[in-house]
Chain A
Amino acid sequence: MHRAGRVASLWQRRSRLYPRSRDRDLLRPPVMTCRVLIGPGKRAAYVREAAGASQDLHAACQLTSMKLSLSKVVSGCRLGTLTNLGKNGVQTMELPGCLLYTKTGSPPHLTHDTLQAIKGVPAVVQLTLSTLVELHEVLEEYKEGIGKFIGMPESVLYCSLHDPGSPCPSGYNNNKTVSIWGYGGRMEMTGSKFMSMQRALQPDWIQCLSDGDTISGETSRKRAKKSVDRSLSFLDECLQLQEKSPELQGSVMVGVIEGGDMLEERLRSARETAKRPVGGFLLDGFQGQAMAKETKLKLMASVTAELPEDKPRLIHGIGKPDEVLECIERGVDVFESFYPYQVTERGCALSFSYDYNPDPEAAVIKQNGIQDAGKNGTEKDINETSKADPEITSFEIFLKEKRYRDDFGPLVHGCTCYCCQNHSRAYVHHLLVTNELLAGVLLMMHNFQHYFSFFHSIRDALRDDRLDQLKELIFRQAL
């Protein structure tokens, strides 16, 4: 099929392929259907390829492209599957779900072998530009993409801008550039420098360059508007650059929704971003403590209401189990997994229960588990609590506490992770006290598996219509 004459604009093309949100009610059959999601450049390539086989544009587009199939929507929570992911188009991701957190392309403390020992590792890996930006030249010379470079050639890779663990200093973005903080310091990214880096990385999903500097607390309306304007401008620029990049034809651009805490700006950002041919949406600017919780949640719900149902919604900076559930109820699908990493770094193990189906005998044990966690705040052990991280949540236990010194039970009773199956609280306590590297390894293995299992239980609860029980259980432990 030959595109004669003028190239259709981004908006025109998009509107021909996808119905607008408000039209979906007219089109929706009894069961949710799949929609085809592709980037503009990729469509062109497949069209050319398919021209020989079929003149049907729609069929050609459906050859291999990320698809979101929703099986259920319950109290605002979406249960579904993303299919046709990755370079080979064979990977899938269950929603709601989380990404595998990495730094410099490696899950913290873990090698391939120790990662393999974890059950339920997500199919999609989160890379962060801030930890990889210094490798630009190296990757350009390498040519084969970041996946192979980091020893994960089979994984689906999502490249976000910033590392969730390290919040960015405020006041460094302008109309042309966004600053990211690498190991060597601040780097200013223009749209073209950003895309040049992406061409070297060749990830599957790309968080578009965006201005999310609205979380430091004093965001004026003007500043919120700027974050939206700039991010849309970057999006258009980057989509155009993507069209011209052969290396990125298989990649999906994730549009970033900004707007600070201004409802109007948030809505504008959502609507405008949704007009572009993006593969998914990132709800940005909800990190940190600056925004009041109620505002946050309301804005989230308002934003997702504007977004098409057939594309995934990602969020950054949300990790605690109660907060995760709140976001899922407001239409968010994909989360990060930096939270179990933060828990690991403070010498803690996730211990919260997500078993909303306990049998009566197990209920007693679970009760003990909750007591364990709840006691953290009241322990009068001065030596330990003075060293304990003030960020410790009620969902975890601090294994350096003296009471674990001779506790030969697993970190969490019933946990099937490598650490709990092979080692005791006493041993991990010893490793922490002696500053041994293995402490980080074992805790990371446990914390990742616990967290991935939590998401599994969310999906189960949605499937079984037991979300309320799960919510009650989690919120009970959130004190």
Chain B
Amino acid sequence: MAAPSSCGPALSLRVVAECGLSKARACELRLPHGPVPSPVFMPVGTQGTMKGITARQLEALGCRICLGNTYHLGMRPGPELIKQANGLHGFMNWPQSLLTDSGGFQMVSLVELSEVTEEGVRFRSPYDGEEILLTPEKSIEIQNALGSDIMMQLDDVVSSTVRGPRVEEAMYRSIRWLDRCIAANSKPDQQNLFAIVQGGLDPALRTKCLEEMTQRDVPGFAIGGLSGGEAKDRFWRMVTLSTDRLPRGKPRYLMGVGYATDLVVCVALGCDMFDCVFPTRTARFGSALVPWGSLPVKNKQFAKDFRPIDENCDCPTCRRYSRAFLHALFRSETAAMHLLTVHNIAYQLNLMRSIRESIVEQRFPQFVRDFMRTMYGSRERYPPWAMEALASVNITLE
């Protein structure tokens, strides 16, 4: 067991255990707001709230780090107000760690994109129609006001389905913007700035990006530009290529990954941190996550199903409520969404905890086999990309 290595003044990482076969590792991150065991799934609390569940409920589920969104919070209520409130931690009264993204992704995915220049991203605000320019400096300024434990650089984001010279341009620009972000960080000893590796689905571009970015003195690295609808077999190859070239002693954050299978596979490929809106979003749409897939509780078939969502789940929802009740409640009551949100977060966090335990106890490959069997039932149904990816790190499924 290694001693904690300092990744920066505000972050240290200790590798607690490594899987002998794959690239999976169990670590402990130490952030300003406390320790975070990894691999870790970070629920997304976009506007300074985990949707309908309270900070106390979230903490009680075992969450030690969650996300806030720079774009949204930068618009409303704005960095000035949040600064007055003692940062985002103070504003939402969240005692554990926070990670904020840069605003880059939202600007691509959500709003009418006017222009990306070397200066920054110029776009039109959906709230008052005003033109806003988000530069690397501006993004860091907002994130410094938010006071998150981990901040993300502003990167030049292109969709993973885009081809051609735009991908290369975005990759090089992201490196230059990383340097500007590092220079703009006014609180390097309290807030960790992570780099985001780009390069699309092109191995050469990714490699180049990794070479450059790993030369910068940042406490951690994110793998970006993936999980956007690209083919899975290209996805995993970029992930594993990246983890091969990222330093062992610093955390690897794979952005936007949240489906259970993807989590398990990408842990095997060497990733430590994940985030995704999927579990909480699908809860609000009436779907409960279970080890064998998902239950669309809103569907008629559950009207008289008096079992809990998962008999083996210990979350507050499964301890007290049945599928039938949730089905009935979903028609009209917000409480149904909250109950499912609680369960789905519990599911994700339990999954990560089980993954971590199995790594620590040196039985991760067996865990993976059991997981796949429970999820898919039989070998014929295992997704080929997952089998390939796991095989590439020496985990064979029966």
Contact = CB atoms under 8 A, between A and B. Distances in A.
Partners in one complex: yes
Interface of A: 103-114, 117, 131, 134-135, 137-138, 141-142, 149-151, 183, 405-406, 408, 418, 422-424, 426-427, 430-431, 433-434, 436-438, 440-442
Contacts of A423: 93
A103 B333 CA distance: 8
Contacts of A137: 304
Contacts of A406: 81, 84
B13 interface: no
A434 B72 CA distance: 9
B334 A108 contact: yes
B131 to A, nearest CB: 22
A422 B89 CA distance: 12
Interface stretch (B34-42, B52-60, B208-216, B350-358): B52-60
B338 A104 contact: no
26 contacts: A104-B331, A106-B336, A109-B333, A109-B334, A111-B57, A111-B339, A111-B342, A114-B54, A134-B328, A137-B304, A142-B306, A142-B324, A151-B321, A405-B77, A406-B81, A406-B84, A422-B54, A422-B55, A427-B48, A430-B47, A430-B76, A434-B76, A437-B334, A438-B49, A440-B334, A441-B338
B65 to A, nearest CB: 19
Nearest to A150: B325
Interface in B57-71: 57, 60
B56 A441 contact: no
B316 interface: yes
B320 interface: yes
8 A-B pairs closest in CB distance? A437-B52, A151-B320, A438-B49, A106-B335, A434-B47, A430-B77, A436-B49, A422-B93
A105 B48 contact: no
A135 B325 CA distance: 10
Given A135-B328, A436-B47, A111 B56 contact: no
A433 B76 contact: yes
B157 to A, nearest CB: 23
B303 interface: yes
A426 B317 contact: no
Nearest to B324: A138
B142 interface: no
A444 to B, nearest CB: 10
Interface of B: 47-57, 60, 72, 76-77, 81, 84-85, 91-93, 303-304, 306, 316-317, 320-322, 324-325, 328-329, 331-339, 342
B338 A109 contact: yes
A408 B84 contact: yes
A104 B326 CA distance: 10
A422 B60 CA distance: 15
A150 B54 CA distance: 21
Contacts of A434: 47, 72, 76
A441 B341 CA distance: 14
A423 B91 CA distance: 8
Contacts of B72: 434
A193 to B, nearest CB: 19
A111 B304 CA distance: 21
Most buried by B among A109, A113, A408: A113
Contacts of B81: 405-406, 426
Contacts of B342: 111, 113
A33 B264 CA distance: 68
B47 A109 contact: no
Given A111-B57, A422-B56, A436-B49, 8 more contacts: A108-B333, A109-B335, A138-B304, A142-B306, A149-B324, A405-B77, A406-B84, A408-B84
Nearest to A106: B335
Given A112-B316, A142-B324, A437-B338, A430 B48 contact: yes
A406 B84 CA distance: 8
Given A104-B333, A138-B303, A434-B76, A441 B47 contact: no
Contacts of A183: 331-332
A151 B335 contact: no
A109 B54 contact: no
B335 A110 contact: yes
Contact of A104 (B85, B321, B324, B328): B328
Contacts of B49: 431, 436-438
A342 to B, nearest CB: 15
B335 A111 contact: yes
B46 to A, nearest CB: 9
Contact of A149 (B60, B77, B322): B322
Contacts of A149: 322, 324-325
A106 B316 CA distance: 15
Contact of A438 (B52, B304, B325, B332): B52
Contacts of B328: 104-105, 134-135, 138
A442 to B, nearest CB: 7
B54 A438 contact: yes
Contacts of A107: 335
Contact of B56 (A105, A117, A408, A424): A117
A459 B88 CA distance: 41
Contact of B52 (A117, A141, A441): A441
A19 B334 CA distance: 48
Nearest to B50: A438
Given A108-B334, A108-B335, A114 B77 contact: no
Most buried by B among A151, A408, A430: A430
A448 to B, nearest CB: 13
A69 B381 CA distance: 67
Most buried by A among B92, B93, B328, B334: B328
Nearest to A107: B335
B51 A437 contact: yes
Nearest to B305: A138
Contacts of B56: 117, 418, 422
A277 to B, nearest CB: 33
Contacts of B306: 142
A418 B320 CA distance: 22
Contacts of A103: 332-333
A387 to B, nearest CB: 15
Contacts of B338: 109-111, 114, 437, 441
Most buried by B among A149, A422, A424, A437: A437
A174 B200 CA distance: 71
A112 B325 CA distance: 13
A137 to B, nearest CB: 8
A405 B82 CA distance: 11
A107 B339 CA distance: 13
Most buried by B among A105, A107, A138, A141: A138
